[in-house]
Structure 1
Amino acid sequence: MFLLARYANVNENHFQLEEVSVRTPVVLICGQGDTDSTAEVLARATGTAVVRHKYDGQVVVRSVTTSSGTSEWPIELVRGCVTCTVRQDLLVLLRRLHRRSDIDRIVVQLMPWLEPEPVCWAIGNVVVHVGPGYIDGPAARDVRVEAVVTCVDSDTWLDQATGDDGLEDGRTVAQVVVGQAEFADALILDRPHAQTLKVLRRLAPRARLTVGAERVEVALANLEPDSRRGRSGNPHDPLLAGQPSLDADGDVGLLLFCARRPFHPRRLHDALDVLLDGVVRTRARLWLASRFDDVMWMESAGGGMRFEYAGRWLAAMSAQERAYADPQRAALAAADWHDQLGDRHVSIAVLVCGAQPEDIVDALRAALLTDEEWDRPTQWSSYPDPFGDWHEDPCDDMAEHVGDISTSHEGEDR
């Protein structure tokens, strides 16, 4: 690890020596667009190395291109998994390239169907053993993610993002292309496409949008101050990151649905089809009546949807547990805390492209508990739950949390 010494002025008579770790910047290129041209443009800069992995059906071939030429190296598959092989090789390679004096920036051109978010997470978290002279640790000891660049094929991206075609590994095409675009710091379109631009500005409002690979260096030099730079979000972050336009533009727009009462699990399950047609992305924190203390996270892209357990509501935690909660989550919860419900709520953000917002709102509102159901909380745990069986029955004191709440203003979208 290289260290840069600098002097910081403490007052007019004293100075202190600071040590600043110099980590090599990494730019990841992904997407279904012209990633080759983008990599070629970035490779022109002095001190830039471009890393690529290709699978020939038997082995993964890694290439590293610098000003002195290109070297290639075959790599045996790890457990028969191409993605695992690429990840393991890349993490070690990044640490080695950091030591080279002729390299000031590393550009990683990902394989077309690799998603950048898990790669960035691995750079920051997966401990690797490089060899003598290296301390075991993640690649982030030596490198930092400077930016994620996603290349968009303007002719096909929107159809892929709203479709339901599947990949061999179980993911859908929509989940990959939407995830690649949403995680980007810079989006490079091969040509202008009005409808695609409308969607991308709302899907990734913090990303710098530009047309043509030749402008990628300009885009990277002018990233937004709050751009991701490889940082993953979590289910408790604000659903509308950045400053996306909330005004509809033709049949493209953002819909935010919020409620202070839970969903009936069966009715919600039956209503979800409305989010799979004419919708690019749904991100939601859900409160189900059958799971009083648990947060469920829902995410959809095109015709694909997934659910996962996202921990417990802060109101269901002990004071000691809440002390370790994320400060931003705690602050957001405190701003809208309910005397009986705490932070329990429903919050859904939907990016529509063709769907009718009124149909979505009507379907979601109909899936909330009725006034009659709301007045019978002791029955909630017995509701049929088609979302899985990973939750123990709610505690017996559930009724005391909800019994005295007025029903006149519950279940409204806002």
Structure 2
Amino acid sequence: MSVPVVIVSGLYPAVRSALVDRLLAEHPGSVAVHHDLREVTTGRVERVVRDAAGVLDLHEVRLAHGCVTCTVREDLIPELLSRMGSAPLLIAELWDSVEPRAVAEALAWHEDTVHALRLTGVLTALDAERVTADICCGERLAQHGKLAAAGDERYLAEVLARQIEYATAIVVSGEEEEDVELARALLGHLAPTTPTDVLGTALPSVTGTGIDVEMLGARVDPATAQLPCDAQTEEISTVVWHRLRPLHPQRLFDAVDELVTETVRSRGRFWLANRHERLLAWDAVAGIVSVEDTGPWLAALPEAAWEMASPARRMAATLDWSPPLGDRVQHLVFTGPDLDRNRILSLLDFCLLTEEKALAGSDLWAGYQDPFASVLDLKETPA
């Protein structure tokens, strides 16, 4: 029978470690494996293995390429497999800025773990006192000493958002009840379908059936993401913009700064008139925005190509389907403090083509200047 494995992620070492301690105490004989990546840029990683009684093993790992992928493949997976014979639960405690998705997929799909280990959960540990400020932090990881690899250019808030949104459960810790309640209110907007518990109360079950990693990824992938709904919780707002008409590229480009600086978190899928065959992803946090081409809309593909799409992709397309546009849709969600809902909706509606121009068709749209081209048309060049 396979051994359960739970991933514990989080930017906050003290809270994350406390959650691991709880899991070790509640599951006697369990083992936690943690890789300290503070010196990963030099190719050096320190592996710490512990149980409820303390540290079992401390070992320096040298990697040919200092990165999270190498750490998981070359050391985490072999270490977990070596410990599975005597442990009723294995815990993979991730370094501060490691995003759990890559680790979850590696554990679930590696040829040596498919039958030996089963991933039962991805828990994210949060410090209630800091999370509401950090989700607004526009600084890079390097400024906080939390690089996960050489050349890591990610932002603190970007990593935090992904740790929150990918988790199967979130555990919050805080000394002040006001901080905890504010953190839980924020999480209710960012990840409304994810269970949230307070450290010190009952924890999520981590020894049951395995989770479906493919479906977990589909929850956050732009084409299939389960986006939050309109909501208002005291001072926090979530505004959903859902339309069908195409967007004018220049008008949207001119509105980007205002949209991302007045909101804390926004994401979704959209289409530009001059790129009517391409599903574009919008991802913004703490004032930093990313716009990415994720591939064609299913409506732009031959019907036979639907069979090659994942069930989640086909389901999302079916739910969004409206003739003659197919699955093309404008679906963006914005979260922040006391958002001016009418202003955001009006600003985005202004970016749409008029009904007359929308009916004119793609021959007219192709002539629009596209300020997004410098981002969307980037091609990889040989090193």
Percent of aligned positions that are identical: 25
Partner of 1:201: 188
Greater share of helix residues, 1 or 2?
Answer: 2
Partner SS for 2:289: strand
Q: Look up the equivalent residue of 1:202 and give its one-letter code.
A: H
Alignment of 1:243-282 (within 5 A): 246-282=230-266
Residue of structure 1 aligned with 2:68, choices 76, 79, 83: 83
Partner SS for 2:63: coil
Deviation at 1:329, TM superposition (A): 3.6
The superposition leaves residues 341-372 of structure 1 with CA deviations (integer Å, 9 ceiling, x where unpaired) of 22222111222324322221122111111234
Q: Look up the equivalent residue of 1:383 and give its one-letter code.
A: Y
Partner of 2:45: 60
Q: Look up the equivalent residue of 1:232 and give its one-letter code.
A: G
Deviation at 1:47, TM superposition (A): 2.4
Deviation at 1:240, TM superposition (A): 2.7
Question: 1:162–1:278: 8 Å Cα contact kept in structure 2?
Answer: no
Partner SS for 2:203: helix
Partner of 1:181: 164
For residues 115 and 282 of structure 2, what CA distance do their matches in structure 1 show?
33
Q: Look up the equivalent residue of 1:47 and give its one-letter code.
A: G
Of stretches 287-296 and 345-354 in structure 1, the one that deviates more from structure 2 is: 345-354
Q: Look up the equivalent residue of 1:150 and give its one-letter code.
A: T
For residues 319 and 106 of structure 2, what CA distance do their matches in structure 1 show?
34
Question: Relative to 1, partners in 2 of residues 1:386 and 1:224: Cα closer, same or farther, differing over 3 Å?
Answer: farther
Deviation at 1:39, TM superposition (A): 1.4
Q: Does residue 311 of the first structure (1) align with residue 292 of the second (2)?
A: no
Q: Does residue 151 of the first structure (1) align with residue 125 of the second (2)?
A: yes
Q: Does residue 51 of the first structure (1) align with residue 23 of the second (2)?
A: no
Partner of 1:72: 58
Partner SS for 2:139: coil
Question: 1:284–1:349: 8 Å Cα contact kept in structure 2?
Answer: yes
Question: Relative to 1, partners in 2 of residues 1:224 and 1:206: Cα closer, same or farther, differing over 3 Å?
Answer: farther
Residue of structure 1 aligned with 2:83, choices 85, 90, 97: 97
Question: 2:231–2:239: 8 Å Cα contact kept in structure 1?
Answer: no
Q: Look up the equivalent residue of 1:254 and give its one-letter code.
A: T
TM-score, length basis structure 1: 0.77
Number of residue pairs the alignment of both structures matches = 352
- Let me know the Cα RMSD of the aligned residues: 2.8
Of stretches 381-390 and 201-210 in structure 1, the one that deviates more from structure 2 is: 381-390
Deviation at 1:67, TM superposition (A): 6.1
Partner SS for 1:232: helix
Question: 2:4–2:120: 8 Å Cα contact kept in structure 1?
Answer: yes
Partner of 2:367: 382
Q: Look up the equivalent residue of 2:169 and give its one-letter code.
A: A
Question: 2:119–2:211: 8 Å Cα contact kept in structure 1?
Answer: no
TM-score, length basis structure 2: 0.83
Question: 2:260–2:287: 8 Å Cα contact kept in structure 1?
Answer: yes
Partner SS for 1:41: helix
Residue of structure 1 aligned with 2:3, choices 20, 24, 27: 24
Deviation at 1:92, TM superposition (A): 2.6
Question: 1:189–1:211: 8 Å Cα contact kept in structure 2?
Answer: yes
Question: 1:239–1:284: 8 Å Cα contact kept in structure 2?
Answer: no
Deviation at 1:144, TM superposition (A): 2.0
Q: Look up the equivalent residue of 1:174 and give its one-letter code.
A: A
Question: 1:147–1:229: 8 Å Cα contact kept in structure 2?
Answer: no
Alignment of 1:227-376 (within 5 A): 231-233=216-218, 234-240=221-227, 246-376=230-360
Gaps of 5+ in 1: 1-21, 128-136, 392-414
Question: Relative to 1, partners in 2 of residues 1:286 and 1:109: Cα closer, same or farther, differing over 3 Å?
Answer: same
Larger Rg: 1
Gaps of 5+ in 2: 143-151, 378-383
For residues 81 and 291 of structure 2, what CA distance do their matches in structure 1 show?
35
Deviation at 1:200, TM superposition (A): 0.4
